[in-house]
Amino acid sequence: MPDKIAITLDVNGKSYDVNVEPRRSLADVLREDCGLTGTHLGCEHGVCGACTVLVDGRPVRACLMFGVQAEGKAIRTVEGLADGDVLHPLQKAFWENHGLQCGFCTPGFLMLAVGALEENPAMSEAELRDVLSSNLCRCTGYQNIVKAVRLAADEMRARRA
């Protein structure tokens, strides 16, 4: 049995004490050790983006970080987006605009968009497309994802104002 390291992760504001091998990716730690299976693995080499989570507010690939590197960081995953049954504006917009089909890429797209919109709520259409080109979706053809994120951005801006 390879050596494990005891770490504490802060995920969605909750503390998780886990014992993990250094080689375990943050995605695997979230899924298997924290039981947060909303973060998905589609490629494990940083291209598809299904595992995108926020680390200290920035969207990153959870398959390209080791769990041990995430200690002391504020991690946010899809499970932390909704407030109970009240959906986040992005979740709501994805639902109302059919921004998902099989749903496998959805958590990654949501976290990508949350991070990007929190950094810059007033992205141009071109910037938005560019950011959303970071993740792959095989079902929707993207147009409803782009539309949902644009509408959610409007709502998030309105809420801030």
Partner 1 sequence: MKPAAFAYLAPTTLGEALAMLDGVQDDGKVLAGGQSLVPAMNFRLARPATLVDLNGLSELDHVSGDSDRGVVIGALVRHAAFHAPPFEGPLAELLAKVVRDIAHYPIRQRGTFGGSLAHADPASEWCLVAATLGATMHLASVAGTRTVAAADFFRGTFTTALAPNEILVRVDLPPLPAGWRTGFYEFSRRKGDFALAMALATLQIDGGAIRAVRLGVGGVSDRPRRLETVEAFLAGKPPTPATFAEAAELARGAVAVTADIHASEAYRSDLLGTVVRRALAEAAA
Partner 2 sequence: MTWIGRSLPRLEDPALLKGRGNYVADHAKGALHVTFVRSALAAGDIVGIERPAEGLVFTGADLDGVGPIRPVLHRPDYRAVGQPVLPVERVVFPGQAVAVAVAASAAEAEDLAEQVFIDIDPIEPILDFDAALAADARAVHPEAPENVLVEGRLETPGFAETVASAHAVVELELRSRRQSAMPLEPRGGVASFDEATGRVTLVASVQMPHMLRTGITDCLGIPESDLRVVAPDVGGGFGQKMSLFPEYVVLVWLARRLRGKVAWIEDRRENFLASAHSRDQAFTVRGAFAADGELLALEADLRSNVGAFSCYPVTCGVEPLMAFGELPGPYRFSQYKVRSRGVTTNTCMMAPYRGVARPMLTFTMERLMDKAAAQLGIDAVDIRRRNLITAFPHRSPTGVVYDEGSYLQAMEAAVAHVDIPAFRARQAEARRHGRCLGLGVSVFSERTGYGTPVFAQRMMGIVPGYESVDLVMDPSGNVEVRIGASPHGQGLKTSLAQLVSDEVGVTPDKVRVVSGDTDATPYGWGTFASRSIVISGGATKLAAVAAATKLRKIAAKLMEASEEDIALEDGYARVAGTNKAMPIPELARAAYHQSQRLGMPAGIRESGFYDPAGTFSNACHICEVEVDVETGGVRIVRFVVVEDAGVVINPMIVDGQIAGGVAQGIGNALYEEMIYDDDGNLLTVSLADYLPPTALEVPDLEILHMETISPESVTKAKGVGEGGTIGAPAAVLNAVADALSPFGVEINVMPATPERIRAAIRNAKVPADA
Q: For partner 1, which residue of 14, 58, 138, 157 counts as binding (CB under 8 A)? A: 58
Contact 113, 129 (CB under 8 A): no
- Measure the CA–CA gap between 19 and 40, rounded to whole angstroms: 21
User: What length is written for the chain?
Assistant: 161
Q: For partner 2, which residue of 5, 74, 104, 155 counts as binding (CB under 8 A)? A: 104
Radius of gyration of the chain (CA): 16
- Check residue 106 for interaction with partner 1 (CB under 8 A): no
- Check residue 107 for interaction with partner 2 (CB under 8 A): yes
- Check residue 101 for interaction with partner 2 (CB under 8 A): yes
- Measure the CA–CA gap between 39 and 155, rounded to whole angstroms: 25
Residues in Cβ contact with 110 at an 8 Å cutoff, skipping those fewer than 6 apart:
78, 81, 88, 90, 91, 94
> Contact letters (x/-) for partner 2, 13-32, by CB under 8 A?
--------x-xx------xx
User: Which residues contact partner 1 (rule: CB under 8 A)?
Assistant: 2-3, 5, 21-25, 28, 44-46, 49, 52, 58-61, 63-66, 68-69, 112, 115-116, 130-131, 133-134
